[in-house]
C-alpha cells in the first residue's frame, strides 16, 4: 500500500493553461479498493487537456502495476470542460480499454454532463456515483 501511495504522489499535479487551471489528485479508495480514483477539480480545456492525458496514462500504468482493474475519474469538482477536455476523456477511455483497465466516470457536474450530451459522448462512458 505504501508503494502505491508513492506512485500516486508522482501523478498528483496541477495543470494550468493561460486562463484555466485543473488539479488532479489520485488515491486508492476504500469504497472501491479495486480502483485507483483520480479527482479532478477546476477547468479542463484544450491547453491543459494534453497534460491531463499524460497523467491519466500514468494512472493506467499504476492500475496495471498494482493489479487494480478500474480507473475512476471523479468529476464532481470539475467546474468546466471544453469539447477538447471531453475529447481527451475519449482518448483516456481508448487507452484504458487497450490496457484492460475499466474507466469509470463519477459524479459529473451538470455542466460537464451537458457538454458530454451535446457531443454525444455520454453513451460511451460508464458513469457511477462515489459516496
CATH number for position 28: 3.30.750.24
DSSP 101: P
Q: Which domain covers residue 50, as residue numbers?
A: 2-128
Contacts of residue 58, Cβ cutoff 8 Å, sequence gap at least 6: 10, 11
pLDDT of residue 7: 38
The yes-or-no verdict on residue 76 having pLDDT over 50 is yes
Going by the DSSP 8-state scheme, the letter that residue 125 receives in this structure is S
Of 25, 55, 59, the residue nearest 40 (C-alpha): 25
Strand partners, 21: 16
State the total domains in the chain.
Answer: 1
**DSSP at 104:** E
Q: What is the pLDDT of residues 10-63, one digit of tens each?
A: 444 544 444 556 666 766 666 678 888 888 888 888 888 888 888 889 889 989
**Residue whose entry in the numeric block shows the C-alpha cell 480514483:** 37
Contact of 129 with 96, CB cutoff 8 Å: no
| Crossing angle between the packed helical segments 49-65 and 83-99, to the nearest 10 degrees | 20
Question: pTM of the predicted model, to two decimals?
Answer: 0.81
Q: How far apart are CA 49 and CA 40, in angstroms?
A: 12
Amino acid at each position: 500500500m505504501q508503494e502505491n501511495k508513492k506512485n500516486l504522489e508522482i501523478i498528483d499535479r496541477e495543470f494550468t493553461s493561460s486562463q484555466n487551471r485543473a488539479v488532479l489528485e489520485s488515491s486508492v479508495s476504500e469504497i472501491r479498493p479495486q480502483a485507483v480514483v483520480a479527482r479532478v477539480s477546476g477547468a479542463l480545456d484544450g491547453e491543459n487537456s494534453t497534460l491531463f492525458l499524460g497523467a491519466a496514462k500514468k494512472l493506467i500504468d499504476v492500475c496495471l502495476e498494482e493489479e487494480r482493474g478500474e480507473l475512476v475519474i471523479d468529476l464532481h469538482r470539475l467546474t468546466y470542460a471544453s469539447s477538447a477536455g471531453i475529447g481527451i476523456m475519449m482518448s483516456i477511455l481508448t487507452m484504458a480499454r487497450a490496457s484492460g483497465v475499466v474507466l469509470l466516470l463519477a459524479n459529473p457536474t451538470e455542466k460537464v454532463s451537458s457538454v458530454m450530451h451535446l457531443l454525444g459522448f455520454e453513451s460511451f462512458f460508464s458513469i457511477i456515483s462515489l459516496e
